[in-house]
Amino acid sequence: MSTAMAPEPVDNGGDARTRRSIARAVLANPTMVTFGALAVIILAFSALAPGLFTQGSNFVQLAQNVAILTVVSVGTTFVIITAGVDLSIPSGIVLGQVFAVQALKLLPLGEGTTAFDATANQTTALSVLVAVTAALLGGLIIGLINGVVVAYLRVPPLLATLGTLGAGLGVALILQDGVNSATYALDPVGNGALIAGIPNLIPIALVVVIAGFVLLHLSVFGRHTYAIGSNPEAARRVGINVERHLLKVYVLGGVASGLAGFLSLSYFSTTSIGGFSTANLQAITAVALGGTSLFGGVGSIIGTLIGVWIPAVLKNGFIITGVQPYWQDVAVGFVLIAAVWFDQLRRRSRDRG
Amino acid sequence: MTAAATDVGTAMAAAIPAVSAHGVTKSFGHVRALRGASFEAFPGQVTALVGDNGAGKSTLIKVLAGVIPPDEGEVRVDGEPVHFTDPLDAKRRGIETVYQDLALVPDLDAAANVFLGRELRRMRFLHDHAEMRRRTRNAFVELGVGLVQDMRVPVASFSGGQKQGVAIARSAMWASRVIIMDEPTAALGVIQTAKVLELIERIRDKGLAVIFIAHNLPQVLQVADRIEVLRLGRRVARFGRGEADVDRLIAAISGAYTNDEPT
Ligand SMILES: Nc1ncnc2c1ncn2[C@@H]1O[C@H](COP(=O)(O)OP(=O)(O)OP(=O)(O)O)[C@@H](O)[C@H]1O
Ligand SMILES: [Mg+2]
């Protein structure tokens, strides 16, 4: 009478129970399931195209391809864990690009030219710094507006960020007079390799992933992010400033988009005002594939990382094995539905009251 | 039974209440929820607050917990007047509340819930989950909350009684003066109710003032050292242990009996 609060099934001990509970823990962990799916896909393609698919260079290429999506997906993981969503990612990216370009144009380089006109071998640390700061600022502004509108004006995030999606792209078009501009000033960032053989985008994305991991899983900020997504009222009653925290989360998402804008400008050497229109849906897909719940309160950075890779690996595998790559869209669509369905099942079985 | 518990409700003049309300009024529009309500809870005692639906019990404890400010009247902590502007004010004074809906975060584990908003930190911004889990486990052992083997799972998968245990243990860990519980046994079965009542007694024996709202009168008579009866927003009766029975409580709740002069 004096020990247990609630009568749990008596522990009959033994390995069988442990093994069963490990199996249950694995199945209950959506990240493990997605990781299993990714492993199966990689193994299947490796068998279908021995040598080709598993080449190191192929994986480096893939990692570079997913780097920009990885950056925005890390940001959007936080947003979705608060039970929110950020559709404005494309405008954050494009504003990041445009702000960077405009800032480079303000930085004189002598003889009437600016850092914007620099060739790849004229790149300076200062111009990179100016461009990255401006890009982050562009994303920050979008994130700030999202956060204020969602947290304080209580507009549902779907519509709030749909609004800033349109508005942000509009502002980018105004600033650019409707045309893209090309610059090679950031080329060494986007196409160089400080670590031999590994293009810069990869370590940059990796740093973002690690920072996101520490912030989400190890910091008090991350803990409060989960709490707010899971039960905002409970968070409020223990004294967490829910509105201010939500604002910070949307700012984080915006800043990640701005950084992605800087990276894409460096990589493609041009703004691409119409080029990232589905980045929001890709990021949401990646996050959901990774087991982060759209209902909030559950999710992980590792899951998101896996979720980013699944569509990329599928597409790459289809190309290498000679299947029409459009099958990627079909496959990802169904995998996504399965992942979300799985999340629902897990929730229902978990909430036993 | 503790020494304090043998005191009678009408002979408390000597002791200073851990928390008390004096002539508190509170209106919501035209509804006068509290009309000069007084209330006292003493350290080391379980004080039950009973009354009919709408008598003002929840409103009164929200005033004591800093959730709503009173229109008139005074709240005192250890005899000193206080003016709470929000629940954090009350928490700082060692007053914790277990709300009827528990206010747990279902997707976080027990330790994260217990320390939510007061996380132990490393390097200022990281949380020290291992230490939080250790302290939570110790607190659970000390309080007799049997969740020790379930420390990693989210509380969503707990039974109703286990969740109640986490919510009460959380309050018990942080409360240094008063724990307020609004119908903590309302949703529980017989066995789990017994365990929660036992938990309440353990917390009482640590020297805290426990305020306990319930409609189940036999339960109240079993666990309460003192009973205060609220009717139409005012205290109408108070009893020490052994002074009341179910019939007399019902009489007080329904207005047929009173032993308290309106203040
Ligand atoms: N926020 C509010 N707005 C308007 N009226 C309120 C509010 N809170 C309480 N009341 C009213 O005040 C009166 C007292 O309510 P209270 O919740 O304190 O009663 P109670 O004794 O806790 O009842 P129960 O046993 O049903 O929980 C009721 O008439 C209730 O409708
Ligand atoms: Mg009530």
Backbone Cα Rg of chain A: 22
Whether A353 maps to a domain, the answer reads no
Asked, for residue A236, whether it belongs to a domain, the answer is yes
A296 φ, ψ (degrees, to nearest 5): 90, 160
CB < 8 Å to B108, chain A? 223, 226-227, 230, 297
Entry pTM? 0.86
Among residues B255, B250, B216, B212, which one has the least CA distance to residue B235?
A: B255
Query: What is the predicted pLDDT for the residue at B149?
Result: 63
Higher pLDDT, A320 or B112: B112
- The C-alpha angle with vertex B17 and arms to B11 and B23, in degrees rounded to 5, equals 90
Can you give the pLDDT at residue B128? 96
Structural domain count of chain A = 1
Instruction: Provide the edge-to-edge strand list for the sheet that holds B234-240.
Output: B95-98, B178-182, B209-213, B46-51, B226-231, B234-240
Answer yes or no: do B195 and A353 touch at CB < 8 A.
Answer: no
- Domain with A135 in it: 69-301
What pairs with residue B226 in β-bridges?
B47, B240
The whole-angstrom distance between residue A81's C-alpha and the CA centroid of its chain comes to 12
- At B155, list the tokens: 């509380």
pLDDT in tens, B65-92: 998 999 999 999 999 999 998 888 999 9
For residue A114, being part of any structural domain is answered with: yes
- What pLDDT is recorded for position A338? 83
Q: What is the band of B15 on the pLDDT scale with cuts at 50, 70, 90?
A: confident
Give rounded-to-5 percent helix, strand, coil for chain A.
70, 5, 25
User: For ligand 1, atom 27, which residue shows the shortest CA distance?
Assistant: B53
Closest CA to ligand 1's atom 5: B28
Using the Cβ of A218 and the Cβ atoms of chain B, whether some distance falls under 8 Å is answered with yes
Is residue A10, in this structure, part of any structural domain at all? no
pLDDT at B5 over 70: no
Let me know if residue A177 belongs to a domain: yes
Q: Kindly report, residue by residue over B131-187, the tens digit of the pLDDT.
A: 999 999 998 888 777 765 678 889 988 888 888 889 988 998 899 999 999 988 887
pLDDT (tens digit, 9 = 90+) per residue, B186-229? 877 788 788 888 889 988 999 999 999 999 999 999 999 999 99
Euclidean distance between CA atoms A66 and A304, whole angstroms = 12
Q: Yes or no: say if B49 and B64 are a contact pair by the CB < 8 Å rule.
A: no
- What are B48's strand-pairing partners? B212, B227
* B48 within ligand 1 shell (Cβ under 6 A): no
In a domain, A131, yes or no: yes
CB pairs under 8 A between A and B: 106
Q: What span, in angstroms and rounded, lies between the C-alpha atoms of A353 and A336?
A: 28
What is the per-residue pLDDT for A299? Answer: 94
* CA–CA separation, A339 and A333 (whole Å): 10
Domain assignment of residue A309, yes or no: no
Q: d(Cα B137, Cα B139) in Å, to the nearest integer?
A: 5
Tell me how close the Cα of B156 comes to any Cα of chain A, in angstroms: 6
| Closest-CA residue to A97 (of A268, A221, A253, A245) | A268
Average pLDDT, consecutive stretches of 10 residues, N- to C-terminus, chain A (353 residues): 39 52 65 84 88 82 95 98 97 97 89 83 88 98 98 97 97 94 91 91 97 97 98 91 97 98 96 93 94 92 95 89 87 85 78 52
In contact, B227 and B50? CB cutoff 8 Å: yes
Is residue B182 within 8 A of residue B213, CB to CB? The reply is yes
Among the listed residues B129, B207, B193, the one whose alpha carbon sits nearest the alpha carbon of residue B165: B193
Question: How far are the Cα atoms of A123, A188, A215, A262, A306 from residue A201, in angstroms, in the given order?
Answer: 17, 11, 21, 11, 18
ipTM value for the complex = 0.85
Residue A37's nearest CA partner among A290, A206, A288 is: A290
- What is the C-alpha separation between B218 and A301, in angstroms, rounded? 52
Q: How many CA atoms lie within 13 A of A161 on its CB side?
A: 29
